[in-house]
Chain A
Amino acid sequence: MKTPLFVTTTLATILASGMTLADDDCRDPVADWQPHDALRQQLEAKGWEVRRIKVDDGCYEVKGLDQEGNEVEAEYAPASLRLRKLEIEYDYDDKEYDRSDDDDDDDDDDDSEVTSRRSESRTGPDSGIVSGKPSVRIE
């Protein structure tokens, strides 16, 4: 990716039955294709900001922002306008990843907090595979 600050998550969603995972191209006959604008309206109705729609391997490829402001790239079958592939970039730089929250000093403070909480409230998980309290060391 161009920007090292972004992390890409790929969620491949193949919704149409009869499509094999190996098939990357869309096979809809051109006569059946709906116009770009129909797809744009469908996505804008969901709250997306559509930057670009182009044709790639017979599919509509969309670039824009989803309703939460994440960068997205998505692929649609041009006749049915059904979603075939969706890629979402999570921006680590947004307020969830506020650096002032997460610098090392803060982590150390959190440590001592968690340690004292743990010793009074826990003897071990109620369900799960670990019995008792693990001991941990970072060096």
Chain B
Amino acid sequence: MKRLTLALAFGLAVAIALPALAQAREVTFNTELKNYGGDGAYVALYLTDADGQYQGTLWIAGEKSKYYKHLRDWARGSGQRSSEYDGLTGASVGSGRSLTITLDLADELIDAGYEVRVDTAVEDMRDNRADVVVPLTTEGAGKPVSGRGYVQSFSYTL
């Protein structure tokens, strides 16, 4: 069963790498942080399947890769391989601020049982694995959810 799942994930990755063959749409993810009163937060936005198995990285906020291990579930799933996040990184997100990411995702990833997850971490404060977990669906678009850690509110639009 596991081997089959991996083959499917790989198949999707190949399809997405050739944009002419895959239909993609623009998706915007908005992550609003609480006023947690600390340094800039490192944030990982990524996709998993319904079992929580890592599928791919959407964005990493935080410039210093040596701190990426504190984005715990993402770090375990991605192995922190730079090929997973190359070109998908930016500044950390300050307390009380919002991170908005707009990118192209293949249509196949939507309404297909995938979840968007957010891990967060702040220096001298706790790491939050799975601060946010939401299914990636047309139904879920535009509906904000609250996080369990530093995330005040998270939503996406399709």
Q: Which residues of A pack against B, CB within 8 Å?
A: 4-5, 7, 9, 92-93, 96-97, 99, 101-102, 104, 107-108, 110-111, 114, 118, 122, 124-139
Establish whether residues A97 and B123, one from each chain, have CB atoms under 8 Å apart when the complex forms: yes
1/0 contact string of B1-35 vs chain A (CB within 8 Å): 00000000000110011010010100000000000
* Beyond known contacts A99-B123, A124-B87, A136-B100: 18 more, CB 8 A cutoff: A4-B124, A108-B91, A125-B85, A125-B87, A125-B88, A127-B84, A129-B47, A129-B58, A130-B57, A130-B88, A131-B17, A134-B101, A136-B59, A138-B61, A138-B90, A138-B93, A139-B97, A139-B98
Establish whether residues A126 and B102, one from each chain, have CB atoms under 8 Å apart when the complex forms: no
Closest CB in chain A relative to B100 CB, distance in Å: 4
Question: What bracket does the count of chain B residues touching chain A fall in?
Answer: 35 or more
Establish whether residues B106 and A136, one from each chain, have CB atoms under 8 Å apart when the complex forms: no
Given known contacts A107-B91, A134-B101, A126 and B17 CB-to-CB distance under 8 angstroms: yes
Tally the A-B contacts, defined by beta carbons under 8 Å: 121
Contacts of A107 in B (CB 8 A): 40, 63, 91-92
Contacts of B111 in A (CB 8 A): none
Of listed A7, A97, A138, residue having the most chain B CB within 10 A: A138
